Structure 1
Amino acid sequence: MRENILNKSAEMFLRLGFKSVTMDDLAAEMGISKKTIYQHYKNKTELVEASVFHVFDSVCGQINTVCDPEISPIRELYQIKRVVREYFGDEESMAYNQLKKFYPNLFEQLMKKKYQVFVESVSDNLRRGITMGLFREDIDIFFTSRMYFSGMSSIKDSDMFPPVEHSVPTLTALFLEYHLRAIVTERGLEELNQFINEEKITQ
């Protein structure tokens, strides 16, 4: 039951918002009593925290399935983008901003954990790209990995990037291209243009 509550709450929080969903809503959706939920989670804050890190671990797990040291690091970044898009759809921005506003301490914990995983992953991606001749040898991995993390985090900020202008998936595609164009070699640029054309066809 605890796992069922966690899965359903995570789905509802992402779809409807952390603030909007009440324990009554969750109980009604699952056809159980609030008492049953409280037997596993003492309050909503504890459930939100569990849901947030459950989603984080789930996304990391799915990303790991598409990461392969043998494939092009450019292809890898596009595959990661697709995984995140399929998991969140257009709801990631709302979840990000509500978590930041209503659960700031939890938001900070999540960002620290995300930072550690993200920077390590991107740094590895950059090293492989340099080795394969797709990324320039003179790029600063420390700087570039952190700039990429900062940019990908910023595009979810609805104050900085209002949803009426661009959706998060669109901003993600634009920033990924922006990031790669700054670091690719001529050979890498040929591969990047191929992926950009593929994206246009599938849209």
Structure 2
Amino acid sequence: MKDKIIIKSTDLFSNLGFKSVTMDDIANEMGISKKTIYQHFQNKTKLVEATAMHVFENISKGIDCICELNTNPINEIYEIKRFVMLNLKDEKSSPQYQLQKYYPKIYCSLKRKQFEKMIGCVTRNLERGVTQKLYRDSIEVDFIARLYFNGMISLKDQDIFPRDTYAMQNLMNNYIDYHLRGICSTKGLETLTELNTNL
């Protein structure tokens, strides 16, 4: 039952927002009593935390699977982007933004986990790209990895990129293109051009 509550809550929070969805809404949607939810979650904050970590774990596992394929590093970045967009495509309420506003402690904890996950993933990508001569050997891997993470987080900041003006798909595409053109070698740029032609 606990897993079912998390899955249904994730769906509701993603579409309607953390603020507007109540425990009553979740109970009604599931056809259970509110008391049943409270048997598994002490309060709404605990449920919000569980759903946020549920989404993070699912996306992390998917990214791990893509990285294990060991494809060329430029292609890997686009595959990860496609996977993430597929998983977040139904988010109509900008959960990350709402999390930051209404549940700052959960947001900070999630951001730390995202940082640890992404730094490892991006660092390995950069190192492989340099080894395969797709990225310039003069890049500072740790600096670029941190910059990339910070940029990705900024894309979700609605004060900088209001959702009614900037579609997330376009933001991600533009940011990845910007990132890769800054680090690619001549060989890498040829690969990037070829990839963009086939997209």
Establish whether TM, by shorter chain, passes 0.5: yes
Does the Cα contact within 8 Å between 1:133 and 1:187 map onto a contact in 2? yes
In the alignment of these two chains, the number of paired residues is 199
Letter paired with 2:123: S
Cα deviation, residue 108, structure 1: 0.6
Does the Cα contact within 8 Å between 1:90 and 1:167 map onto a contact in 2? no
CA distance in 2, matches of 1:90, 1:154: 20
Aligned equivalent of 1:61 = 61
| CA-atom RMSD in angstroms | 1.3
Letter paired with 1:51: T
Cα deviation, residue 95, structure 1: 0.6
Does the Cα contact within 8 Å between 2:134 and 2:187 map onto a contact in 1? yes
Structure 1: 5+ residue stretches without partners: none
Does the Cα contact within 8 Å between 1:100 and 1:107 map onto a contact in 2? yes
User: TM-score of the superposition, structure 2-length normalised?
Assistant: 0.96
- Once the two structures are overlaid, the 10-residue window that deviates more, 91-100 or 35-44, is 91-100
Q: In the superposition, relative to structure 1, how do residues 92 and 76 fare at CA in structure 2: closer, same or farther (>3 Å)?
A: farther
Secondary structure of 2:146's aligned partner: helix
Aligned equivalent of 1:180 = 180
Secondary structure of 1:67's aligned partner: helix
Aligned equivalent of 2:124 = 124
CA distance in 1, matches of 2:14, 2:178: 28
Aligned equivalent of 2:25 = 25
CA distance in 2, matches of 1:14, 1:6: 12
Does the Cα contact within 8 Å between 1:93 and 1:157 map onto a contact in 2? no
Cα deviation, residue 93, structure 1: 6.9
CA distance in 2, matches of 1:93, 1:12: 10
Does the Cα contact within 8 Å between 1:99 and 1:107 map onto a contact in 2? yes
Cα deviation, residue 142, structure 1: 1.0
Q: Are 1:34 and 2:55 matched, yes or no?
A: no
User: TM-score of the superposition, structure 1-length normalised?
Assistant: 0.94
Question: Which aligned segments of 4 or more residues in structure 1 are displaced greater than 6 angstroms?
Answer: none
% identical equivalent positions: 45
CA distance in 2, matches of 1:127, 1:10: 35
Does the Cα contact within 8 Å between 2:2 and 2:40 map onto a contact in 1? yes
Aligned equivalent of 2:50 = 50
CA distance in 1, matches of 2:92, 2:140: 30
Secondary structure of 2:68's aligned partner: coil
Letter paired with 1:129: G
Secondary structure of 2:37's aligned partner: helix
